[in-house]
Amino acid sequence: MLREVMKGEKRMYFGSKRSNTVKPAKLNETDKAKIIVNVRKLISLSSKSKLSTIVHRFEVRAGRLYFYRLQEQFGWDDPDMQFIKPLINGKYKEFPWARITLYDAQGDKCEVDWQRYTGQWISLTEGNLAKCLVYIEENDDMFH
Protein backbone atom coordinates (compact mmCIF):
# COMPACT_ATOMS: atom_id res chain seq x y z
CA MET A 1 0.00 0.00 0.00
CA LEU A 2 1.57 3.26 -1.13
CA ARG A 3 0.17 6.24 0.70
CA GLU A 4 0.91 9.86 -0.15
CA VAL A 5 0.90 12.51 2.55
CA MET A 6 1.13 16.20 1.72
CA LYS A 7 3.37 18.31 3.94
CA GLY A 8 3.35 21.87 2.64
CA GLU A 9 4.92 21.69 -0.82
CA LYS A 10 6.73 18.45 -0.01
CA ARG A 11 5.26 15.01 -0.64
CA MET A 12 6.19 12.14 1.63
CA TYR A 13 5.49 8.52 0.76
CA PHE A 14 4.86 5.86 3.38
CA GLY A 15 4.75 2.21 2.46
CA SER A 16 6.20 0.69 -0.64
CA LYS A 17 5.04 -1.31 -3.59
CA ARG A 18 7.65 -3.96 -2.84
CA SER A 19 6.23 -4.89 0.57
CA ASN A 20 2.89 -5.79 -1.00
CA THR A 21 4.15 -7.74 -3.99
CA VAL A 22 7.42 -9.44 -3.03
CA LYS A 23 7.66 -11.93 -0.19
CA PRO A 24 10.60 -12.02 2.24
CA ALA A 25 13.46 -14.38 1.49
CA LYS A 26 13.25 -17.94 2.75
CA LEU A 27 16.29 -18.41 4.94
CA ASN A 28 17.85 -21.71 5.91
CA GLU A 29 19.75 -22.15 9.18
CA THR A 30 23.15 -21.19 7.71
CA ASP A 31 21.70 -18.00 6.18
CA LYS A 32 20.11 -17.10 9.53
CA ALA A 33 23.40 -17.70 11.33
CA LYS A 34 25.30 -15.49 8.85
CA ILE A 35 22.76 -12.68 9.19
CA ILE A 36 22.83 -12.89 13.00
CA VAL A 37 26.63 -12.63 12.97
CA ASN A 38 26.51 -9.67 10.55
CA VAL A 39 23.90 -7.81 12.60
CA ARG A 40 25.79 -8.40 15.86
CA LYS A 41 28.96 -7.12 14.20
CA LEU A 42 27.22 -4.04 12.79
CA ILE A 43 25.51 -3.24 16.11
CA SER A 44 28.67 -3.55 18.17
CA LEU A 45 30.97 -2.07 15.51
CA SER A 46 31.41 1.21 17.31
CA SER A 47 31.22 1.77 21.03
CA LYS A 48 29.36 5.01 20.31
CA SER A 49 26.55 3.11 18.61
CA LYS A 50 23.11 3.95 19.94
CA LEU A 51 21.86 0.60 18.72
CA SER A 52 24.00 -1.33 21.18
CA THR A 53 22.27 0.44 24.08
CA ILE A 54 18.76 0.55 22.60
CA VAL A 55 18.35 -2.96 21.20
CA HIS A 56 17.63 -5.44 24.00
CA ARG A 57 17.56 -8.41 21.63
CA PHE A 58 16.79 -9.30 18.03
CA GLU A 59 15.63 -12.41 16.24
CA VAL A 60 15.22 -13.70 12.69
CA ARG A 61 11.76 -15.01 11.86
CA ALA A 62 10.19 -15.67 8.47
CA GLY A 63 12.78 -13.68 6.52
CA ARG A 64 12.58 -10.69 8.83
CA LEU A 65 14.77 -9.27 11.59
CA TYR A 66 12.74 -8.16 14.62
CA PHE A 67 14.38 -5.76 17.07
CA TYR A 68 13.08 -5.49 20.63
CA ARG A 69 13.49 -2.69 23.14
CA LEU A 70 12.91 -2.54 26.89
CA GLN A 71 10.58 0.11 28.28
CA GLU A 72 10.00 0.90 31.91
CA GLN A 73 6.41 0.21 32.93
CA PHE A 74 4.32 2.74 34.82
CA GLY A 75 3.64 1.53 38.35
CA TRP A 76 6.40 -1.06 38.39
CA ASP A 77 7.27 -0.12 41.99
CA ASP A 78 3.65 -0.40 43.26
CA PRO A 79 3.30 -3.73 45.12
CA ASP A 80 -0.46 -3.86 44.37
CA MET A 81 0.00 -3.41 40.61
CA GLN A 82 -0.57 -6.57 38.57
CA PHE A 83 0.88 -7.15 35.12
CA ILE A 84 -0.29 -9.68 32.53
CA LYS A 85 3.28 -10.73 31.74
CA PRO A 86 6.12 -10.79 34.25
CA LEU A 87 8.40 -7.79 34.03
CA ILE A 88 12.06 -8.10 33.09
CA ASN A 89 14.34 -7.12 36.00
CA GLY A 90 11.21 -6.21 37.93
CA LYS A 91 10.34 -3.07 35.96
CA TYR A 92 10.77 -3.45 32.18
CA LYS A 93 8.57 -4.83 29.45
CA GLU A 94 9.86 -5.88 26.04
CA PHE A 95 8.28 -4.29 22.95
CA PRO A 96 8.86 -4.83 19.22
CA TRP A 97 10.76 -1.74 18.15
CA ALA A 98 11.71 -2.08 14.49
CA ARG A 99 11.77 -4.67 11.74
CA ILE A 100 13.97 -5.25 8.71
CA THR A 101 12.47 -7.35 5.92
CA LEU A 102 15.09 -9.29 3.98
CA TYR A 103 14.43 -9.87 0.28
CA ASP A 104 17.61 -11.88 -0.29
CA ALA A 105 19.72 -14.12 1.92
CA GLN A 106 22.82 -11.90 1.65
CA GLY A 107 21.12 -8.77 3.02
CA ASP A 108 21.61 -6.69 -0.14
CA LYS A 109 17.91 -5.88 -0.54
CA CYS A 110 16.17 -4.95 2.69
CA GLU A 111 13.37 -2.73 3.94
CA VAL A 112 13.02 -0.97 7.31
CA ASP A 113 9.56 -1.22 8.87
CA TRP A 114 7.97 0.61 11.79
CA GLN A 115 5.06 -0.75 13.82
CA ARG A 116 2.06 1.51 14.31
CA TYR A 117 -0.02 1.46 17.48
CA THR A 118 -2.52 -0.73 15.59
CA GLY A 119 0.08 -3.45 15.06
CA GLN A 120 0.41 -2.72 11.33
CA TRP A 121 3.97 -2.55 9.98
CA ILE A 122 4.72 0.43 7.71
CA SER A 123 7.73 0.46 5.37
CA LEU A 124 10.02 3.47 5.75
CA THR A 125 13.06 2.96 3.52
CA GLU A 126 14.98 0.42 1.45
CA GLY A 127 18.66 -0.45 1.15
CA ASN A 128 21.16 -3.07 2.19
CA LEU A 129 21.39 -4.41 5.75
CA ALA A 130 24.07 -1.94 6.88
CA LYS A 131 22.18 1.07 5.47
CA CYS A 132 18.96 -0.10 7.12
CA LEU A 133 20.67 -0.38 10.52
CA VAL A 134 22.20 3.09 10.09
CA TYR A 135 18.75 4.46 9.19
CA ILE A 136 17.26 2.92 12.33
CA GLU A 137 20.07 4.34 14.47
CA GLU A 138 19.84 7.85 12.98
CA ASN A 139 16.03 7.97 13.20
CA ASP A 140 15.67 6.38 16.63
CA ASP A 141 13.01 8.88 17.71
CA MET A 142 10.67 7.70 14.92
CA PHE A 143 10.40 4.21 16.36
CA HIS A 144 8.80 5.04 19.73
CB of 113 closer than 8 Å to CB of 126: no
The whole-number average pLDDT for the span 23-41 is: 92
- Cα-flanking dihedrals φ and ψ of residue 100, to 5°? -120, 120
- Cα-flanking dihedrals φ and ψ of residue 20, to 5°? -95, -20
Confidence class of residue 127 from pLDDT cuts 50, 70 and 90?
very high
Mean pLDDT of the chain: 77
Choose the weakest-confidence range: 46-55, 79-88, 124-133. Answer: 79-88
Amino acid in the structure at residue 7:
K
Residue 15 pLDDT greater than 80, yes or no:
no
Q: What is the pLDDT of residue 82?
A: 60
